[in-house]
A = this chain, B = another copy of it.
Amino acid sequence: MNKERPILAITIGDPAGVGPEVTVKALSDPGIYQIARPVVYADRCVLTAALRACGLETALRRVDRPAKAGGEAGVIDYIDVGVLDKQVSWGVVSVEGGRAGFTYLDRAIAAALAGEVDAVVTAPLNKESLKAAAVGFIDHTAVLVARASLYQPMTLFVADTLRIFFLTRHIPFREIADAITGPEIDAALPHCIRYLGHLGIENPTLAVAALNPHGGERGLFGREEMDVIAPAVERAKRLGYRVAGPVPADSVFHQAREGRYDGVLSLYHDQGHIAAKTLDFHGTVSLTMGLRFLRTSVDHGTAFDIAGKGIVDDRGMVNALQVAGQYALGVKARLHL
């Protein structure tokens, strides 16, 4: 290897979920070692249980610090976080599982903040277990925002050649239209542009999706484009940002795929999710931008119904690792300019 490979911290998530399995499956494939040196934050008993569940015999090697990760295919290097003595029950909400999943994340964040790892890749936590464990955070985002924000963190989906930001996410459909305001868009656009820059895109152009069908057809099917979105785009342009839109949502992702835009700001969860996940369900990787380090994650949950059965599809984790490997050092360098 001539090129320096980033060290990726992987957190296995809730030990009762599919996180440990997608981790050991993905790290039993030689692919990722071409571009990264992975190190897993976990307990040995959980990794052993996951390997057994998947019928894998990949070697486990404990390392005392990330720099010792060898990056060799066939060996899973891990940091022994030391929470669990034995694996929890698969597919069951528990205090122990919640606490363990949180602690793996906590340690990986500390390593990233200390510069010992170059990015963090996370497997899913379980909200109910986190709540049972009373760790004080409801999900990954809450922990990451509290511990590691540099700017206002934003989720960025990468799928195929698409890069998609979200103005709103986990709110009821009925609340979407009211949540799309001039000040919200004004605040989001510079961050989107900055984060595309962090990925190494020079002078990025961002498109803002429209809300109404056909972008409202000049008010015929809704006025948000005229009253809210277009004025915000104009303000951003006057500030020198390369922003286009509002572009009808059934065209904007196609146009971005064709290279007309470097990124798309979608206005609501499903708008961007449908585009990314219809196009490449397993290849859709979620990045958290605006932290002090790059974080990528799988976009599925703990899937308690199939945990421990060895049948979970690990393509989401493989892609999360690939994307982290691709961007980690660049993001790190640009954050410390």
Which residues of A approach B to under 8 Å, CB–CB? 169-174, 176-177, 211-214, 216, 220-224, 249-251, 253-254, 257, 268-271, 273-279, 281
Contact = CB atoms under 8 A, between A and B. Distances in A.
A77 B249 CA distance: 38
Contact of A277 (B172, B173, B176, B250): B250
A213 B170 contact: yes
Given A170-B220, A213-B270, A249-B274, 7 more contacts: A170-B221, A172-B222, A213-B273, A249-B273, A250-B273, A250-B276, A257-B278
Contacts of A220: 170
A224 B173 contact: yes
Contact of A278 (B169, B171, B174, B254): B254
A277 B256 CA distance: 12
Contact of A253 (B177, B211, B268, B278): B278
8 contacts: A170-B220, A172-B223, A250-B270, A251-B281, A253-B274, A254-B281, A275-B275, A275-B278
A164 to B, nearest CB: 10
A297 to B, nearest CB: 15
Nearest to A219: B172
Contacts of A279: 278-279
Contacts of A170: 213-214, 220-221
A213 B249 contact: no
B278 A172 contact: no
Nearest to A214: B170
A173 B177 contact: yes
A216 B174 CA distance: 11
Contacts of A276: 250
A171 B274 contact: no
Contacts of A275: 274-275, 278
Contacts of A253: 274, 277-278
A171 B213 contact: yes
Contacts of A250: 269-270, 273-274, 276-278
A248 to B, nearest CB: 8
Contacts of A169: 213
Given A213-B270, A271-B274, A275-B274, A172 B254 contact: no
Contacts of A177: 173-174
A261 to B, nearest CB: 13
Contacts of A173: 176-177, 211-213, 221-222, 224
A172 B214 CA distance: 10
A85 B271 CA distance: 47
A250 B172 CA distance: 15
Most buried by B among A174, A270, A279: A270
Nearest to A254: B281
Contacts of A273: 213, 249-250
